[in-house]
Amino acid sequence: MSRSFGLVGLPNAGKSTIFNALTLAGARVEAYPFCTIEPHHGVASVPDERLDRLHALFPGKKKVPTTIEVVDIAGLVEGASQGEGLGNQFLAEIRGVEAILHVVRCFPDPDIAHPMGELDVRRDIQVVEGELLAKDRETLERRRERTAKAARTGDKPAQEEVALLDRLLDAVRDGKAIRTLRFSAQEMPLLRELAPLTSKPVLFVANVDDAGENDLSRAVAEVARESGAGWIIVRGKLEAELGEACPEEGERQAFLQEYGLTESALVRLVREAYRLLAVITFYTVEGPEVRAWTVPAGTKAPDAGAAIHTDFRDRFVLAEVMPLADLLAAGSERALREAGRVHRAGRDYTVQDGDVIHFISA
């Protein structure tokens, strides 16, 4: 399953530019042809050095990376939650993604209009977050009205829900994103069901000019630290142009290095986004494929198996686990087996980032 990310930000922040940079770069990772589901939905293959090294042990097989789905969500302007611009259209799209990539314009270019006249990183971020908060407030208030009726009849779960809704509403009325609150294990299922927009993890993408970091991007980093979000700096225009001009991966790398970059925006973005989502990557070597998979950190072996086939969960027998580092050190799967270093894991085993797993079902 692809992890899905939605690009939001003010008009002219560089969302479409970054969408192009990401999807063009991912198109070069092989295996998957670049695929545009709709004009604003793209799938990018995730570059993965560990998968490359694993694949080198099985050169006859096909390499299948994980993918991310990226949605270029237009229409979030000041007042959008009240129906301004494209109004509420953007909402359904944000509801559908796992994490938000909030693109912040950090390039002062007089030729490119700013919707509020001039650049002000904090204000620009607040306008976008303010729209999301306004939407959450509206949905949560409506929900509270309905639940409060049931609560008055003495319905215990409804009373607990009202208590949680009040806490969420206090935060959003106060201009605080729900992602900054902490929740108990009992509250989590309801929170997941409510899925407020501001509960989704946010990765700020400071879109800078070719020269890189500047005062504006430093302000983005500061806001991110204050608000429980992640952040990365991306030279959107440069990387989008590179994606178009250099079809060959090595050539692109050489270019990036000229600008002092060792990794593409896609690589850095995926790393930060996977960290925010708390997902890990494991690998399989099955049939004709060497393949990467992502699952939430803490996933047990049978549930990880279910990502591949439900039989691996429902008829789970065991999982043979080879940490990638051990496999690479041994030089081959056979050498690792002969050394007796393949771990036979039961259904309680928690999958670790970088495990190479062979599932056995009945």
Instruction: List the one residue from 2, 12, 139, 253 that touches ligand GDP (CB under 6 A).
Output: 12
Report if residue 16 touches ligand GDP, rule: CB under 6 A.
yes
Q: Indicate the residue among 85 and 354 with the shorter CB distance to ligand GDP.
A: 85
- The position carrying tokens 């509403």 is 169
Q: How far is the CB of 17 from ligand GDP (least distance, A)?
A: 3
The number of beta carbons lying within 10 Å of the beta carbon of residue 298 is 10
Ramachandran region of residue 192, left (φ > 0), alpha (ψ -120 to 50) or beta? Answer: alpha
In this complex, which beta carbon is closest to Mg ion, that of residue 16 or of residue 139?
16
Residue 13 found at the interface with ligand GDP (CB under 6 A): yes
Q: Which is nearer to ligand GDP, 113 or 195 (CB)?
A: 113
**Which of 5, 6, 14, 233: binder of ligand GDP (CB under 6 A)?**
14
Pick what 237 binds: Mg ion, ligand GDP, none; C-beta below 5 to 8 Å, kind-dependent. Answer: ligand GDP
Interface characters, 201-220, with ligand GDP (x: CB under 6 A): ------xxx-----------
Question: Candidates 5-13, 79-87, 255-263, 339-347 — which segment interacts with ligand GDP by CB under 6 A?
Answer: 5-13
Work out whether 16 is an interface residue with Mg ion (CB under 5 A). yes
What pairing do the DSSP bridges indicate for beta strands 99-105 and 202-207? parallel
For the CB of residue 256, give the shortest distance to Mg ion in the complex, in Å.
24
The one-letter amino acid code at 28 reads R
Token digits for 306?
A: 């279910």
Residue type, 249: E
> And the tokens for 282?
């494991």
Does 15 interact with ligand GDP (rule: CB under 6 A)? yes
Radius of gyration of the chain (CA): 23
Regarding 102 and contact with ligand GDP (CB under 6 A), the answer is no
Binding mask 163-202 for ligand GDP (x = CB under 6 A): ----------------------------------------
Q: Is 159 in the site for Mg ion (CB under 5 A)?
A: no
Pick between residue 17 and residue 281 the one whose CB is nearest to ligand GDP. Answer: 17
Cβ proximity to ligand GDP, 8 vs 197, nearer residue = 8
Residue with smallest beta-carbon separation from Mg ion: 16
Query: Contact with ligand GDP (CB under 6 A): which of 3, 8, 17, 312?
Result: 17
> Cα–Cα distances in Å, from 140 out to 8, 89, 248?
22, 19, 49
d(CA 18, CA 260): 19
Is 115 near ligand GDP (CB under 6 A)? no
CB-CB contact of 102 with 205 (8 Å) = yes
- Partner whose footprint covers residue 109, from Mg ion, ligand GDP, none (CB < 5 to 8 Å by kind): ligand GDP
Instruction: Please choose which of Mg ion, ligand GDP, none residue 120 contacts, taking the beta carbon within 5 to 8 angstroms, the exact cut-off set by kind.
Output: none
Nearer to Mg ion among residue 93 and residue 355 (C-beta): 93
Of 9-17, 40-48, 116-124, 294-302, which part binds ligand GDP (CB under 6 A)? 9-17
Residues that bind ligand GDP (CB under 6 A): 9, 11-17, 107, 109, 112, 207-209, 236-237
Residues that bind Mg ion (CB under 5 A): 15-16
